[in-house]
Amino acid sequence: MNAAIPAALLEPAPVSLRSSEGLGWDGFAATLLGIRPGTYRVPAMAQHRVNVHVGAPVRANCVCDGRRYSRIQAHGDADVIPAGLPGMWTDDADCRILRIAITDTFVRSIGEQLGAPADITPRLQWRDARVHHLAAALGAELEAQDTSDVLYAESLCTALVVRLLNSSRDVAAGVANNARRLPPRVAARVIDYIEAHLHQRLTLAELAAQAGLSVPHFNVLFRATLGVPVHRYVVRRRVDRAKALLLEGRRSASQIALEVGFAHQSHMTQWMQRLLGATPRDVVRAGKAAAASADTAA
């Protein structure tokens, strides 16, 4: 007689469709999960989780934090599950969930810099435009053939944690009370640091340290001072340096990509096309044409 199969083994299991594994993210991760109809018992986890529903609406039942919910889960609805809190979800149709997992260390670091309690409050079927936008941007990184700089993902997750801690207004108020821009000397110090370390992986924490600010305040003041988010500024400087090196003609495109801090040549090509509207090959050809025209004129 065959032994009985434990009921838990008969329950459906989420399927990982895409993951941030291998992207170099530190302190947080994202996974796009395919969910089949059925009941899912989710044990308490060490990470805080933000689960965002993606796609067509489904009818769902949820038991979490001592409460029971029956609802229609629509695109953009989010469940915020703090670390250590288990739950059970039942879906009546196929659906997809973007799960963003954030370590408690990452959350506490942001909380300390904000001077706010690092407490993640459970929220079920939460509709928040800011959270939806940030989660969608992180999810897009899983789908991109060539992902953006790690600094971009870190900026997105930092902003997400600030929102989860419900401190966005406090950050804005603190900035307004203290200063609207980085002082010129501080801005110069940060820019010089970026220029000297473009070839390395840059983090928000080390850049904020150069300014003597918390990461959330640094993000706001940098953008107000330079007119672009810090990750966008860094990528733009890498593209500019890559263009200058390509025009010199002394190194291959693959060598230049690594030298200016891109993960690989195709990553550099993607950003050059986006920001310059030209590939590395186009840049080299234009440089040669300009040189030939100058020689002819001489």
pLDDT one-digit tens code per residue, 151-191: 989 999 999 999 998 744 444 444 444 458 888 889 989 99
Answer for the pair 219, 227: CB distance below 8 angstroms, yes or no.
Answer: no
- The angle that helices 215-226 and 204-211 make with each other, rounded to 10 degrees, is 80
Q: What is the pLDDT of residues 219-271, one digit of tens each?
A: 989 988 888 899 989 999 999 999 999 998 888 999 999 999 988 898 899 88
The pLDDT of residue 146: 65
Provide the pLDDT for residue 170.
47
Which residues, at least 6 apart from 102, have a Cβ–Cβ distance to it below 8 Å?
27, 28, 47, 48, 49, 50, 157, 160, 161
pLDDT at 11 over 80: no
Is 234-297 in the same CATH topology as 7-144? no
The domain spans of the chain are 7-144, 168-227, 234-297
CATH homologous superfamily for 234-297?
Answer: Homeodomain-like (1.10.10.60)
Neighbours of 284 (CB within 10 A): 16
Q: Report the pLDDT value the prediction gives residue 100, as an integer from 0 to 100.
A: 97
Which fold does the domain 7-144 belong to in CATH? Jelly Rolls (2.60.120)
**Rounded distance, CA 225 to CA 30, Å?**
31
